[in-house]
Amino acid sequence: LNITLKDANEPYLKYAEHTIQMEISLHEFKEICVVQHWISTLIPYIRFNKHYANISFFNECINICRHLKNSDECKGIAYSKKMKTCMIAVEGNENDEILLSNDQHYLTLSSCIKDRETERTNNGQPEFCFLPQLNEMCLLEFYQLLCLSGWEVIARIKNTLSFQDCLLKCASVMYVKKCSAVNYIDQQCILLRRTEHAKFIRSPHSIFAEILFCE
């Protein structure tokens, strides 16, 4: 199921040179979403409509927008990690514009597609894991099935002393090599990235975890 959320009138389509396209995982919806991350600090034709406080993660702010998107109540979000604020933007007129502060990041949702919803049915609730070496908190989803679709092996690393060490190896190359999952057993760490057609079969006693996000 592909859910298109973009509108031809939305500003990021008119100002594409000011954005970077990215993919993010929204675990609450079991979706992969394409987003546009704005480079510019001046966003035209948009005004703030709602304000959420005590939002610890950018991903959490994106989830709020995804909830509101179907009712056309979210054209974009501005998130401040320092202030823990999530600002919801709606369509304005030609006189409206938003000037971001130094700490704010502005993002728009483009489209979302369901992500292995059936395979993930019996997975438990995602769990947080702190990586002090990166000073980041990562949200992990542990998988129950042994035969998993959509994963390609990046590397197999022996003599990895713990699952946490394995996780650190993946998180360290998340953006460079697109690592987004690990499989760990008997001091062997397997790093994996998303792909459309490959299948990965894990050992019955291994730990397989997808990194939903690290911030």
Q: For residue 85, what are the contacts with CB-CB under 8 A and spacing of at least 6? A: 51, 52, 53, 55, 79
pLDDT for residue 2 is more than 60: no
How far apart are alpha carbons 177 and 141 in whole angstroms? 20
Task: Give a yes or no: residue 25 inside a domain.
Answer: yes
Q: Same domain for 76 and 133?
A: no
Question: Mapping DSSP to helix (H, G, I), strand (E, B) and coil, where does residue 168 land?
Answer: helix
165 with 103, same domain: the answer is no
Q: Is the pLDDT of residue 8 over 60?
A: no
- Per-residue pLDDT at 17: 58
Mean pLDDT, rounded, for 180-205: 96
- Same domain, yes or no, for 104 and 193? no
- CA angle at residue 119 from 195 to 125, to 5 degrees? 105
Task: Say if 97 falls within a structural domain.
Answer: yes
- Report if pTM > 0.75: yes
Regarding whether 80 and 30 lie in a shared domain, the answer is: yes
- Portion of the chain with pLDDT greater than 70, in percent: 92
Give pLDDT tens digits for 19-59: 899 999 999 999 999 999 998 889 999 999 999 999 999 99
Q: Distance between CA 69 and CA 76 in Å, rounded? A: 9
Task: State how many domains the chain has.
Answer: 2
**What is the pLDDT at residue 14?**
47
Residue 162 CA neighbour count, 13 Å, CB half: 4
Query: Helices H, strands E: what count in the chain?
Result: 3, 15
Read off the pLDDT of residues 54-109 as tens digits, 9 standing for 90 and up: 999 999 999 999 999 876 789 999 999 999 999 999 999 989 999 998 899 999 99
Of the three residues 114, 141, 175, the one that is the final residue of a domain is 114
> By residue range, what is the domain housing residue 178?
117-214
